[in-house]
Amino acid sequence: MTSLPTPIEMERAYKQKDASYDGVFFLAVRTTGIFCKPSCTARKPLRQNVEFYQTPREAIFAGYRPCKRCHPMENNGKQPEWVERLLSIIDKEPTARYTDSYLRSTGIEPARARRFFQKNYGMTFQAYCRGRRLGKSLEQIRLGVDLDDVALGYGYNSHSGFRDAFVKTFGKSPGRSRTEDCIVTSWIESPLGPLVVAATSDEICLLEFTERKMLDAQFVSLRKHFKCAIVPGENEHIKLLKQQLKQYFDGTLKRFTVKLIYPGTPFQQRVWNQLLKIPHGKTVSYEDIAKQVGSPNACRAVGTANGMNRIAIVIPCHRVVNKDGELGGYGGGLWRKKKLLELERCEKVMEL
């Protein structure tokens, strides 16, 4: 679990309405009973009346309600400008080394970068950069590029240094990895908040909202199933999914065609396969799914399998509701489930 910035840092951030801290922490005001984003334009409260929380869920469970001005529950998924700028730099030169001194020279505090990447990518900024270098190196190795050329071309001063880092990440030496795969992960912005996507070289294997508490467990599950490393990056499947998600939120796409892979138990896979058959704009009950997979008395097991779905939206677990029509549960939050169903019923078109 990541930690909050220092109280002094958070106080400075909310008093200056610093949007780069949105999503890093939330401030709750005792005198009003509401919680806000740091960038909220409302009048700033006295420090002694403020409590800090890492997630909206924590603030809600502490008895606070969302601010109607800044809508802290409805993150538009937009990354802070400094993050977009930094990612663009890394994408252009993934082999470079980005030191703390370099970050400071661009006006970015290393501690802020570390916290943001840890919270949103599950790794520090330096780990992200290493992952990008090594992910690209594995791609070159699979293409048959000479190992010495790969090592020296991806920021390592020696073959032994590259080999040690490679083995630590992928579990095998570069020379034994000509046919190895890895899972690449990326960030996707959405009207309902940022999503983490992961893909093998052949299919999409994960799509989750970044704040979901099960996200760490899902990555553990992926490592177990695919027995390979997970590194930052992007491939053709992720690019296609980004395009299709934009069309989906625009209201112009009703069926995803991106390739999927979702290993699990035979029962889980029957449930997930059945979810893919639910028409756009329709809902079914857990009881319906249980009957359709041949286990009419397994409603609770269906609910568990539904909750274990690793590919949100595309495998539409949000279309499963209680028998009485109530929404039931949703790992990404009931407010997101409601928004998704509204979108699919054409009640409201979302904007990116």
Q: What is the model's pLDDT at position 213? A: 67
The model's confidence at residue 22, banded by pLDDT at 50, 70 and 90, is confident
Q: What is the model's pLDDT at position 348? A: 45
- Per CATH, 81-170 and 183-250 having the same topology is answered no
**Could you read off the pLDDT of 226-285 as tens digits, one per residue?**
887 777 778 899 999 999 999 999 999 999 999 999 998 999 999 999 999 999 999 999
* CA separation for the pair 25, 99 (Å, rounded): 25
Options 1.10.10.60, 1.10.287.130, 3.40.640.10, 2.60.130.10; CATH of 81-170: 1.10.10.60
* CA separation for the pair 51, 14 (Å, rounded): 12
Pairing of strands 284-285, 195-199: unpaired
> Per DSSP, which regions of the chain are E strands?
26-29, 34-36, 50-53, 65-66, 183-188, 195-199, 204-209, 230-232, 284-285, 320-321
**Could you read off the pLDDT of 178-229 as tens digits, one per residue?**
445 678 878 788 888 778 888 998 899 999 887 676 777 787 788 788 887 7
The model's confidence at residue 78, banded by pLDDT at 50, 70 and 90, is low
Q: Is 68 a residue whose pLDDT tops 80?
A: yes
Average pLDDT over residues 306-315: 93
How is the chain split into domains, by residue range?
A: 7-66, 81-170, 183-250, 266-344
Q: What is the model's pLDDT at position 139? A: 55
The residue type found at 55 is T
Lowest mean pLDDT among 1-15, 289-303, 305-319: 1-15
- Rg value, the chain, Cα: 22
Residue 224 burial (10 A CB sphere; 0-12, 13-18, 19+): exposed
Average pLDDT over residues 58-66: 74
| CATH top class, domain 7-66 | alpha beta
Lowest mean pLDDT among 20-24, 136-140, 192-196: 136-140
* Residues whose CB is less than 8 angstroms from the CB of residue 236 and which lie 6 or more positions away in sequence, other chains included: none
The model's confidence at residue 121, banded by pLDDT at 50, 70 and 90, is low
Q: In what order do the strands lie in the sheet with 230-232?
A: 204-209, 195-199, 183-188, 230-232
Q: What is the model's pLDDT at position 147? A: 47
What torsion do the CA atoms of 250, 256, 261, 267 make, to the nearest 10 degrees?
Answer: 100
Tokens of 299: 């409603």
Q: What is the model's pLDDT at position 177? A: 42
Q: What is the CATH code for 183-250? A: 3.30.160
Question: Which member of 67, 228, 317, 346 is catalytic?
Answer: 317
Choose among 148, 180, 184: nearest CA to 167. Answer: 180
Question: Which member of 36, 40, 70, 205 is catalytic?
Answer: 36
Q: Is 335 a residue whose pLDDT tops 50?
A: yes
205 is catalytic: no
Q: What is the model's pLDDT at position 189? A: 80
Higher-scoring residue by pLDDT: 56, 99: 99
The residue type found at 204 is I
Q: What is the model's pLDDT at position 169? A: 54
The model's confidence at residue 19, banded by pLDDT at 50, 70 and 90, is confident
DSSP 320-344: EE-TTS-----TT-HHHHHHHHHHH
Q: Is 290 a residue whose pLDDT tops 70?
A: yes
* CA separation for the pair 111, 254 (Å, rounded): 42
Fold of domain 266-344: Arc Repressor Mutant, subunit A (1.10.10)
Q: What is the model's pLDDT at position 27? A: 93
Average pLDDT over residues 143-158: 49
228 is catalytic: no
Q: Is 172 a residue whose pLDDT tops 60?
A: no
Positive or negative: CA dihedral 11, 17, 18, 19 = positive
The model's confidence at residue 151, banded by pLDDT at 50, 70 and 90, is very low
Decide: 141 and 129 in contact? Cβ < 8 Å: no
Mean pLDDT of the chain: 79
Q: What percent of the chain has pLDDT over 70?
A: 77
Higher-scoring residue by pLDDT: 131, 68: 68
